[in-house]
Amino acid sequence: MSTSTTSEISSLLETLTTSLDVFKAELVRQHFPEPSLLTSRPHAIDDPSYVTPPRMYEARRVAVSSLDRLRLLLESPAEALAVSCIASGEIQGVRLAAELGLHEVLADAQNPEEGEDVRVVAVKTRTDAPKLVNRGWFRETKAGWFANNRRSHMLQKGSKGYHCAKDMSFYMNNAIDKLPEAMTHPDESFRMSRNPERTAWNIYANSDLPFFGPRSWLSDKPGEAERFALGMGGYGVASDNGVTYDVPWMDFVKGKDAIVDVGGGQGTLCCALAAAYPEVKFVVQDLPATREAAEKYIASRGVAGRVIFEEQDFFEPNRRRGTGRYVFLMQKVLHDWSDEEGARILSNILDGESQMFIIDLIIPPTTVSPDGPSVKESLATVDIQGPYKPIPSPPFIPNDFGDMHRIAHSINICLISLCNSFERTYADMENMVRLAGMRIKTVTTTR
């Protein structure tokens, strides 16, 4: 039981109210209406190209975290357990909705605000009266009639969200589904192994190949590397804007020939950076199996003249090493590998004329304290449009802001399931970099 004399509910309610007031003020400042759950039209702040101003971002982050903590205080533990036990239904429902093209069916309704009769949906999707995802992914406008909402627009066919729901979900959830079996495997050498060939994914795929690498399950199965690259591009939709606009790229590229994204997949990040910084040249490096998807994506973004693709196995010496002055970039790559393998990858890249920039999640402590600055004081210090700087957690809000950091902890489980790897703490990252003969010079926090 908490020893604090302060009411957690009252404190969190005050934090929630204050952060919502700031969020609403930001909407007014930008001449936006409030979001609504009663319309099929997307809101302006839902556009993937929209960059949330720092103060608005922090207000939303605090509000969502406050709601999460209040839910934990108010909910029945028994009901929470029951919901968790069937949570996979939502995951598979979202994936199915994307694969069936449900967004398009509802968008094509005669009146998109009213939606479509579920019987018509069944005919158009050639399924047996599909059960639409509850949990806020669609709207039931009247009994048996369903329409799109803000969330469901993320499932529009061909969009980043579509590939996240359809492709990334396939890999992650099939692997996680086998994690209990892997961690209770009767063979102790299997369940205690950190080997990337002895994972939950290996059980699912009935394969002895690691998931990643030049000789891997992805490279061995035609089309899978391209599919995974599309899924990763979709997964990045939640963080790409922060990486694009919160990192001082122009400072990094002064005197450099190009930014080289090692293990860059289809080039999602480089294309976003190329659109924001037209004077910079970019190179996307990845395995040969990714070339087709990368060149197609780069061309679709209209930046083929400034973003090129190169074949590169990052376990081999980098072809650009020693040939110029570059900013080498690795985004969400090193977390797939052990400290030793990560150090080996880094050692193959950097020379004295270049810089290394690592983009990975850092796992902070999840501790909670009744103390801390009030959110009103903290938000007042955040610039409306200036450089992003996170505020400290308010009283009773976890150090990692709880639900707002859920992606990092969820990805951690995915990494364990796919390749026996983990997201790193700052100390873990320092250790890997030190093994490569390097040191961390600076850390940039992004939205």
Residue positions annotated with a catalytic role = 335
Which amino acid type is present at position 124? K
- Residue that is written with structure tokens 């529009």 in the block: 156
Neighbours of 384 (CB within 10 A): 12
Task: Check if the beta carbon of residue 103 is closer than 8 Å to that of residue 153.
Answer: yes
- Residue that is written with structure tokens 């590939």 in the block: 163
Identify the CA nearest to 89 among candidates 47, 58, 55, 133: 133
Which amino acid type is present at position 337? W
